[in-house]
Amino acid sequence: MTASLLWFRQDLRLEDNPALDAALRRGAPIIPVYVWAPANEGGWAPGSAGRWWLHQSLESLAHRLERIGSRLIVRTAASALDAIEALVRETGADAVFWNRRYEPARVACDAAVEKALAKNGVAFERVDGALLFGPREIANKQGAPFQVFTPFWKACLDRLTLPPPSAPPRRIPAPKGWPSSVPIESLGLEPRIDWAKGIRAAWEPGEDDARKQLARFLDCMAAYLEDRDRPDRPGTSRLSPHLHFGEIGPRQIVYAVRERAALTAAPGTARGEEKFLAEVGWREFAHHLLFHFPHTPERPLREKFERFPWAKDRAPLGAWQKGMTGYPIVDAGMRELWHTGWMHNRVRMIVASFLTKDLLIPWQDGARWFWDTLVDADLANNTLGWQWAAGCGADAAPYFRIFNPTAQGVKFDPNGDYVRKWVPELARLGAAWLHDPGRAPDDVLRAAGVVLGTTYPAAIVDHRNARVRALEAFSAITR
């Protein structure tokens, strides 16, 4: 044995990292590597917010490796295959280890790397570190992929046994000499104009903060059932970007949640645990679907929606992106997204329903905007979420279930705290009018300093009329 290459991708952690554990068991010196090859992403290279996070996460990983006697070798290349082959030649490495990914372009990239390594007599091992179960491991009774969540997740739970997560190594055996590396700054991941101040204030990328977020969530898990749909409360785990970049793995989360629930037996904890683990299950389901239906980031799973008569006028898309629709809960969500790179999940459903059903703008336009602006932009989750909202995917909401944005705001932000935070021009409106300022009496608007169409936009569409139009559009593809 000469050396092992440890190829990092979206598994930027040292704790419970199956590829790292496998490389350590081999016993040879380890050369950790990250390859920036956006052309390998099949049109889905990280968006702007994701690139910002990736830069910080790589720096965090590099510092952690240095503290245990190792270092992160960073390369750029037209393809990951070019970089891996070059590193094998330069270092004489005779084995390569990595964690599998299941996005369509990643599957093709991995196949090319495996073929080249086998041809050159280089050993390799790819293991599962991103999911609880690989997409091929779970199938229905006919051996086909699931398209409904509940039986899928039941099949997962029936097989789910988890050992304790493996601890991060205290030392990683280093080679006698290190290959060249480019600075992380040279990847150009951070914006030239600093628009990321709000994201930087809201997040701390890296494995350390992932563990802190998990610990915080465990302390409030008993309230998860009640608080998870309330954007005005800190009731969610906020682990999604850490999960996406692999700063923490799903097995770590599931093990910690189950362990805490068993230890505390606090009232409501078990039900909160069950619901939260189902959210982890939806992530598994999203990757299951993407692997088996690789066309879905661009095209609907339900073929009849290929004929859907979307509106020709795309002008309202800009108002939606800027949070200027005249519907406060929608605008609050879109502004939270722009400022922090994240949006509460309930609000994601509201804004997605509004775009695809009130405005009849294709779900692909919304998915692309989320892809560029979310720090947790994940191809599988993004695709599942948007197709669910549009009614064209697996286990999707029925198309006739059209969220009323005003009613949703009243129900899930009853005191208006969320809207007031992100739509400050409405902050002085009372709760009775905050989610529907168009109905507020003139004297109430004047007292709150609100001039519709000037200080805050009038509604760009009437929801009642938009609902009728959406149902008519749906009926056109079901005749």
User: What is the pLDDT confidence band of residue 142, given thresholds at 50, 70 and 90?
Assistant: very high
CA distance 134 to 139: 11
Going by C-beta distance under 8 Å and a sequence separation of 6 or more, which residues neighbour residue 191?
48, 52
From 114-118, 307-311, 398-402, the region with the lowest mean pLDDT: 398-402
State the span(s) of the chain assigned CATH 1.25.40.80.
Answer: 131-165+205-294
Q: Are 7 and 85 in contact (CB under 8 A)?
A: no
52 catalytically annotated: no
Q: Using alpha carbons, list the distances in angstroms from residue 191 to 47, 123, 260, 343, 460.
A: 11, 39, 40, 21, 32
- For the structural domain made of 303-476, what CATH number should be given? 1.10.579.10
CATH 1.10.579.10 in the chain, residue ranges: 303-476
Q: Is 363 among the residues known to form the active site?
A: yes
Q: What is the pLDDT of residue 137?
A: 96
Taking Cα atoms as reference points, which of 373, 23, 386, 9 lies closest to residue 175?
Answer: 23
Q: Among the options 41, 114, 279, 404, which is catalytic? A: 279
pLDDT band of residue 478 (cuts 50, 70, 90) is: confident
Q: What's residue 318's pLDDT?
A: 97
Q: DSSP letter string over 154-197?
A: HHHHHH---PPPPPPPS--PPPSS------GGGG--S-SS---H
Cβ atoms of 12 and 52 closer than 8 Å = no
Q: Cα-flanking dihedrals φ and ψ of residue 97, to 5°?
A: -125, 140
% of the chain surpassing 90 pLDDT:
91
In the chain, count H helices and then E strands.
21, 5
Tell me the average pLDDT across 117-139: 96
Q: What is the pLDDT of residue 222?
A: 85
Structure tokens that stand for 119 in this block: 């041809």
Nearest by Cα to 214 from 19, 22, 16, 72: 16
For 214-219, what is the mean pLDDT? 94
Query: Is the confidence at residue 95, as pLDDT, over 90?
Result: yes
Q: Which residue has the tokens 């280890």?
A: 97
Report whether 409 contacts 325 (CB < 8 A).
no
Report which of 8, 27, 127 is spatially closest to residue 71, judged by C-alpha positions.
Answer: 8
All CATH 3.40.50.620 domain ranges in the chain, comma separated: 4-130
Distance of alpha carbon 5 from alpha carbon 18, whole angstroms: 14
- Here the tokens at position 105 are 């372009």
Amino acid of residue 195? W
Tens digit of pLDDT for each residue in 285-295? 999 999 999 99
Which of 44, 338, 342, 363 is catalytic? The answer is 363
Instruction: Categorize the per-residue pLDDT at 39 as very low, low, confident or very high, splitting at 50, 70 and 90.
Output: very high
Q: Quick check: is 140 catalytic? A: no
Q: Which of 153, 282, 388, 422 is catalytic?
A: 282
**Active-site residue 17, yes or no?**
no
The pLDDT tens digits of the residues spanning 317-376 come to 999 999 999 999 999 999 999 999 999 999 999 999 999 999 999 999 999 999 999 999
Q: What is the mean pLDDT of residues 399-409?
A: 92
Q: Which ranges in 203-311 belong to alpha helices (H)?
A: 207-219, 224-227, 240-244, 250-264, 269-292
Q: Please state, in angstroms and rounded to a whole number, the distance separating the CA atoms of residues 13 and 100.
A: 15
Asked whether the predicted pLDDT for residue 120 surpasses 90, the reply is yes
Is residue 53 flagged as an active site residue?
A: no
SS3 category, 331: helix
Q: Is 80 helix (H, G, I), strand (E, B) or coil?
A: helix
Write down the catalytic residue from 41, 114, 204, 345: 345
Q: State yes or no: is 371 an active-site residue.
A: no
Quick check: 57 and 206 in contact, CB under 8 A? yes
Report the alpha-carbon angle 437-439-442, nearest 5.
85
pTM equals: 0.96
Say what the pLDDT of residue 181 is: 98
Q: Token digits for 274?
A: 């069950």
Would you say residue 397 has pLDDT above 80? no
Band the pLDDT of 8: cuts 50, 70, 90: very high
CA distance 344 to 418: 10
DSSP states of 281-305:
HHHHHHHHHHHH-TTTTTS-SSGGG
pLDDT for the residue numbered 117: 98
Q: How confident is the model at residue 263 (pLDDT cuts 50, 70, 90)?
A: low
CATH fold of the domain at 4-130: Rossmann fold (3.40.50)
The per-residue pLDDT for 210 is 98
Give the per-residue pLDDT at 271: 80
- Bridge-partner residues for 73, per DSSP? 33
Q: Cα–Cα distance between 326 and 459 in angstroms, integer?
A: 4
Q: What is the pLDDT, as a whole number, of residue 269?
A: 57
pLDDT-based confidence at 265, cuts 50/70/90?
A: low
Residue environment code for 95-106, b if the CB has 16+ CB neighbours within 10 A, otherwise e: bbbbbbbbbbbb
Q: What's the mean pLDDT when you consider all of the chain?
A: 95
Residue 401 has pLDDT above 90, yes or no: no
With a CB cutoff of 8 Å and minimum separation 6, the contacts of 416 are: 429, 431, 434, 435
Given the residues 369, 386, 422, 433, select the one marked as catalytic: 386
Please state, in angstroms and rounded to a whole number, the distance separating the CA atoms of residues 57 and 205: 5
Residue 48 has pLDDT above 90, yes or no: yes
What is the third-level CATH fold of 131-165+205-294? 1.25.40
